[in-house]
C-alpha cells in the first residue's frame, strides 16, 4: 500500500518533469536546438502567476490563463528576436545562448520579485481525498489531471488543426514545408511559444507544492533526464520519461537507507547518465538519433 502511495506521489511530480520535457522535445523536434532556459521559463511562469493571483488578487482560473498567455507571447518573441539570430552556428552557440538567457531570467526574477519564498492560494491547497486508505492531495490530483488535459489538447492540435499539421511538416522537413507555402519562421516562433506555455502551466501547477522562488528553475535540469530517457524527440516519451523519473525519485527518497545517503537528489541525474551510457536512443525513439562513434 505504501508503494502505491509513493507511486501516486511520484506520478504527480513526474508529470511536472514530463511537461517541462515536453517543451524541450517540441523545440528540439522542430529546430534541432535545445532550450536550456526551459526551467527558467517555468520559474517565470510561477512568478507571473504569483503576481497576478497573489498580489493583484485575481481569480485563480483567470490568473492561470493570463499567465499562460503572457508567457506564450514571451516565448514567441524570445525566438523571433533573440534565438533566431544564431541559426546556422554550431550547436555550442545555442547551448550557451539559452544558458545565458536562463541566467538573465533568473537574475531578473530575483531583482524584481526578490529572493523570498512566495506562495499564493489555489482552490486545491491543503485539501486531500482518501481512497481505500490512499491519501491523494488535491494539488497532486490537479497536476495529473492538468497534464492529461494538456497532452490531449496538444495531441488533437497536432493531429487535426491546420497549424498543428504545418508544425509537424516543418519539423519533418523545413525546406519542403517552405516550398508548400508554410511560413516556417512564424511556425517555429509559434512552437517556442507553445513550449513556453507548457512550461508556464507546469510552473503554475507546481507552485502550491514547492512554493515560488528562483530555485525551482532547477526542475528544468531534471526534466532533461526525462526527455533523454523518453528518447529526445518523442512527445509521449517525454511524459512517460518524466513519470518514470518522478517515481524513481520518490522510491529513492523512501528507500534511501538501502542505497546510499542523499541518493534522492541525484537520482534523476544518475538515471540520465545511465540512459546515455546504456541506451542512448531512449525508450520511445523511433530511430537511432544519437550518433555513436
Partner 1 sequence: MRFIFKTNYAQDINIARHGGDKFWYSLLIILMLAMPLIIDDFYLGEISYVCILAIAGIGLMILSGYTGLASLGHAAFLGIGAYTHAFLLTNGVPFFASIPIVVIVSFMVGALIGIPILRLTGMYLAIATLALCFIAEHVFIKWEHFTGGNRGMPVPQPEIMGMSFYDSTTFYYVCLAFLILSMFAAINILRSPTGRAFVAIRDSEIAAQSLGVNLGLYKALSFAISGAFTGLAGALLAHYIGYLAPDIFNIFLSLTLLLLIVVGGMGSLHGTVFGAIFVGSLPQLIAICRDYLPSSVGSQPGLEPMLFGLILVLFILYEPLGIYGRWVKIKLFFQLFPTYKKQTFKKQKVFTKSDRV
Binding window for partner 1 (CB under 8 A); candidates: 84-92, 134-142, 198-206, 245-253: 84-92
Nearest to 118 by CA among 53, 66, 68, 59: 53
Cβ proximity to partner 1, 120 vs 188, nearer residue: 188
Cβ proximity to partner 1, 57 vs 90, nearer residue: 90
Rule CB under 8 A: is residue 214 a binding residue for partner 1?
yes
Rule CB under 8 A: is residue 99 a binding residue for partner 1?
yes
Find where cell 492560494 sits.
121
Rule CB under 8 A: is residue 287 a binding residue for partner 1?
yes
Q: HEC string of 95-107?
A: HHHHHHHHHHHHH
* Residues of the chain by 3-state class (helix, strand, coil), percent to 5: 75, 5, 20
Rule CB under 8 A: is residue 93 a binding residue for partner 1?
yes
Rule CB under 8 A: is residue 66 a binding residue for partner 1?
no
Binding window for partner 1 (CB under 8 A); candidates: 1-9, 95-103, 117-125, 196-204: 95-103
Judged by CB under 8 A, which of 39, 102, 230, 246 binds partner 1? Answer: 102
Q: HEC string of 248-281?
A: HHHHHHHCHHHCCCCHHHHHHHHHHHHHHHHCCC
- H-assigned helices in 123-281: 138-160, 162-172, 174-179, 184-210, 219-229, 235-254, 263-278
Cβ proximity to partner 1, 148 vs 273, nearer residue: 273
Cβ proximity to partner 1, 53 vs 271, nearer residue: 271
Report how far residue 100's alpha carbon sits from residue 97's, in angstroms, rounded to the nearest whole number.
5
Rule CB under 8 A: is residue 59 a binding residue for partner 1?
no
Cβ proximity to partner 1, 95 vs 136, nearer residue: 95
Report how far residue 40's alpha carbon sits from residue 36's, in angstroms, rounded to the nearest whole number.
8
Between residue 107 and residue 136, which ones bind partner 1 under the rule CB under 8 A?
107-111, 114-115
CB 20 within 8 Å of CB 202: yes
> 38: which residues sit within 8 A by CB, 6+ positions away?
20, 23, 24, 195, 199, 220, 223
Cβ proximity to partner 1, 1 vs 293, nearer residue: 293
Rule CB under 8 A: is residue 175 a binding residue for partner 1?
yes
Cβ proximity to partner 1, 115 vs 152, nearer residue: 115
Binding site for partner 1 (CB under 8 A): 31-32, 34, 82, 85-93, 95-97, 99-111, 114-115, 172-176, 214, 221, 224-225, 228, 232, 260-262, 265-266, 269-270, 272-273, 276-277, 280, 287, 290-293
Amino acid at each position: 500500500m505504501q508503494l502505491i502511495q509513493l507511486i501516486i506521489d511520484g506520478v504527480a511530480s513526474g508529470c511536472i518533469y514530463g511537461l517541462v520535457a515536453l517543451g524541450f522535445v517540441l523545440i528540439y523536434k522542430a529546430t534541432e536546438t535545445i532550450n536550456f532556459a526551459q526551467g527558467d521559463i517555468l520559474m517565470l511562469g510561477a512568478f507571473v502567476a504569483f503576481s497576478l493571483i497573489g498580489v493583484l488578487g485575481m481569480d485563480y482560473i483567470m490568473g492561470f490563463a493570463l499567465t499562460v498567455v503572457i508567457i506564450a507571447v514571451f516565448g514567441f518573441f524570445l525566438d523571433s528576436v533573440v534565438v533566431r539570430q544564431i541559426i546556422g552556428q554550431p550547436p555550442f552557440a545555442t547551448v550557451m545562448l539559452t544558458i545565458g538567457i536562463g541566467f538573465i531570467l533568473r537574475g531578473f526574477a530575483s531583482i524584481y520579485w526578490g529572493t523570498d519564498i512566495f506562495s499564493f492560494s489555489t482552490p486545491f491547497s491543503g485539501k486531500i481525498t482518501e481512497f481505500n486508505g490512499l491519501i491523494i492531495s488535491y494539488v497532486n490530483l490537479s497536476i495529473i489531471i492538468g497534464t492529461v488535459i494538456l497532452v490531449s489538447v496538444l495531441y488533437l492540435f497536432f493531429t487535426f488543426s491546420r497549424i498543428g499539421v504545418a508544425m509537424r511538416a516543418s519539423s519533418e522537413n523545413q525546406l519542403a514545408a517552405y516550398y508548400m507555402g508554410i511560413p516556417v519562421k512564424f511556425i517555429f516562433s509559434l512552437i517556442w511559444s507553445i513550449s513556453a506555455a507548457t512550461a508556464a502551466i507546469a510552473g503554475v501547477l507546481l507552485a502550491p507544492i514547492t512554493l515560488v522562488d528562483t530555485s525551482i528553475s532547477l526542475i528544468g535540469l531534471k526534466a532533461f533526464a526525462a526527455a533523454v530517457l523518453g528518447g529526445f524527440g518523442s512527445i509521449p516519451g517525454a511524459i512517460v520519461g518524466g513519470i518514470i523519473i518522478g517515481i524513481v525519485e520518490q522510491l529513492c527518497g523512501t528507500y534511501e537507507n538501502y542505497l546510499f545517503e542523499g541518493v534522492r537528489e541525484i537520482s534523476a541525474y544518475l538515471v540520465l547518465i545511465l540512459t546515455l551510457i546504456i541506451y542512448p536512443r531512449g525508450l520511445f525513439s523511433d530511430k537511432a538519433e544519437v550518433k555513436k562513434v
